[in-house]
Amino acid sequence: MTAAAVAVAVDAGARFTRIAVLGAYGAPELARLSGSVPGEGVPVPQDTADRRGAALRAAYGEYCESHGIPDRVVLVVREQDRAGAADRAADALTAVHGTRPAPPIRVLGTPHAVLALLRHEGAPPSARYTVCDLGASAAEVSVCVPVSGTVAVTGRAWHAPADGYGGGFDRALLAAVGLPDDGAGLRALAGARGETGAAERLGIALRRADSHRGRYDDTAVHRVDGREITAGVVRRALGRLTEGLDRALDEALGGAPAPPVIAVGGAARFGPLVGHLAARHGPLVALPGATDPALAAVFGAALVAAGRADPGDRYPHAVCVGTHRVVGGAPRSEELVISPAGVLEPGGATVFAETGGHRVPVATGTAPPAGPAPPVRVRVRDARGERAEAVGTLTLPAGGEGDRFHVGVRIAVDGTAHLVLHPLGSAAPGEIPLGTLPTDLKGAGP
């Protein structure tokens, strides 16, 4: 057994589980695992109910057996699968090494993982992008916009047919020539696509078939296991990819022009599909170093896991509010951390001030005639507490003598922050706008 890698990234897809680490020269690469397909990862078993869970346990177990238990894991998931993903992964990983707890797991959505890869290679951190994740099971479109030093997903849609997206396309091609959709069939199809000149022949044949309907449909474009796949078969199967993707794009964009498009996922290897995207939305963003689009997300996550790239999915600073306590009969000014650095997510849930895993109850002051609640100052601090900047001074609504509130903060997808006061009990929370939180802190600490 070799020494353990400090951190790994895992992309548990519908057809392959990919584990990536940083190689000897600091570049992401797939971990070498027994039973993996070169350039793909460990195949997901198709004969079990919990296919992805079983595949994750198998791939992670093989990694631990060969390389040791990692210190931390970054798990790449589709945006719609993020809820509960960390807990499910922790259960799967803990099952591999018995009673020992799973290493810390950070869940990262595909668009943030891909943008981390681009930023690491010098892409502008403030650019808007449309990330199209074209996978075996679904096509997911995410419109990504810079917000408060992070990247917010302001539009999202997906197309997930029952028989799969890229996987359904492959099945349609294999079925047309009477071949099963199994490991052998997929390897044969991949081999045919990888032959010298195959992509060029396919492109020419499809253009001819499109411009002369029916005339060139019988042109052979691939020979798989001695059987010919024709241009007509590919053209009809391609329609299932383009139509679903176009619908998802229209929904995510809401009729607006698309920011520069990044295509990733296994189906993004398919030239005619990428060509369709480029024809409709302009030249696509090139992946750095000609990265395989199927590996872009897990490679970006590997850079995040190793601390080489910031995914921009969390506000980088802590949000604090001034408080007053009476200690020994004398008032004392203190500061309550509502949200630690790197926790708030644009468009995500409200983060409440906690201590010991429990929300902190606070009073805002009593109503007249006792007088108005004293003003409080909201500030943000960097992770080390060395720099801070004032956000504003607020007068909070007064409550009754025994009224207590949980105080939280959230960031909307438009970048505006809101202080949230949630009364203990059944009352609905109230919000106070804070504006846009600063990211470049110039002020000194306390």
Q: How do residues 174-184 score in pLDDT, each as one tens digit?
A: 888 888 777 77
pLDDT, mean of residues 346-371: 79
Over the chain, what is the mean pLDDT? 84
423 bridge partner residues: 405
Predicted pLDDT of residue 47: 65
Which two three-digit tokens encode residue 73? 């894991």
Residue pair 1/62 in contact (Cβ under 8 Å)? The answer is no
Per-residue pLDDT reduced to its tens digit, 214-225: 677 788 888 888
Which two three-digit tokens encode residue 441? 């802190």
Residue pair 92/295 in contact (Cβ under 8 Å)? The answer is no
Per-residue pLDDT reduced to its tens digit, 299-310: 999 999 999 998
How far is residue 262's CA from residue 131's CA, in Å, rounded to a whole number?
5
Per-residue pLDDT reduced to its tens digit, 88-141: 887 888 888 776 777 888 889 999 999 999 999 888 877 899 999 999 999 999
Residue 228 pLDDT class (50, 70, 90 cuts): confident
339 bridge partner residues: 319
How far is residue 266's CA from residue 138's CA, in Å, rounded to a whole number?
11
Predicted pLDDT of residue 2: 45
The candidate with the shortest Cα–Cα distance to 160, out of 168, 150, 152, 149, is: 168
Burial of 152 (0-12, 13-18, 19+ CB in 10 A): buried
Predicted pLDDT of residue 315: 87
131 bridge partner residues: 142, 262
Is residue 3 predicted with pLDDT exceeding 50? Answer: no
Residue pair 242/273 in contact (Cβ under 8 Å)? The answer is yes
Is residue 52 predicted with pLDDT exceeding 90? Answer: no
Residue 288 vs residues 116, 199, 306: alpha-carbon distances, Å: 11, 21, 18
Is residue 206 predicted with pLDDT exceeding 80? Answer: no
Predicted pLDDT of residue 65: 87
Is residue 371 predicted with pLDDT exceeding 60? Answer: no
Residue 443 pLDDT class (50, 70, 90 cuts): low
Residue pair 146/127 in contact (Cβ under 8 Å)? The answer is yes
Residues 6+ apart with CB under 8 A from 233: 172, 173, 176, 177
How far is residue 185's CA from residue 15's CA, in Å, rounded to a whole number?
14
Residues 6+ apart with CB under 8 A from 362: 323, 336, 353, 404, 405, 406, 407
pLDDT, mean of residues 249-265: 94
Predicted pLDDT of residue 1: 39
102 compared with 21, residue with greater pLDDT: 21
Predicted pLDDT of residue 287: 95
Predicted pLDDT of residue 331: 65
227 compared with 9, residue with greater pLDDT: 9
Residue pair 361/424 in contact (Cβ under 8 Å)? The answer is yes
Share of the chain above pLDDT 70, in %: 90
Is residue 226 predicted with pLDDT exceeding 90? Answer: no
How far is residue 43's CA from residue 76's CA, in Å, rounded to a whole number?
17
Is residue 392 predicted with pLDDT exceeding 60? Answer: yes
Is residue 58 predicted with pLDDT exceeding 50? Answer: yes
Predicted pLDDT of residue 329: 61
CA torsion through residues 225, 229, 233, 238, sign: positive
Is residue 325 predicted with pLDDT exceeding 70? Answer: no
DSSP 256: S
Reduced 3-state DSSP string for 199-248: HHHHHHHHHHHHHCCCCCCCCEEEEECCEEEEHHHHHHHHHHHHHHHHHH
| CA 66 to the chain's CA centroid | 28
In degrees and rounded to multiples of 5, residue 342 shows phi and psi of 75, 25
Residue pair 28/20 in contact (Cβ under 8 Å)? The answer is yes
pLDDT, mean of residues 421-429: 83
How far is residue 9's CA from residue 300's CA, in Å, rounded to a whole number?
9
How far is residue 276's CA from residue 200's CA, in Å, rounded to a whole number?
15
Task: Name the one residue in this structure whose structure tokens are 């680490």.
Answer: 21
Predicted pLDDT of residue 147: 80
Is residue 84 predicted with pLDDT exceeding 80? Answer: no
Task: Name the one residue in this structure whose structure tokens are 């100052």.
Answer: 377
Domains located in the chain, CATH noted = 7-123+292-305 (3.30.420.40), 166-284 (no CATH), 318-436 (no CATH)
pLDDT, mean of residues 383-392: 85
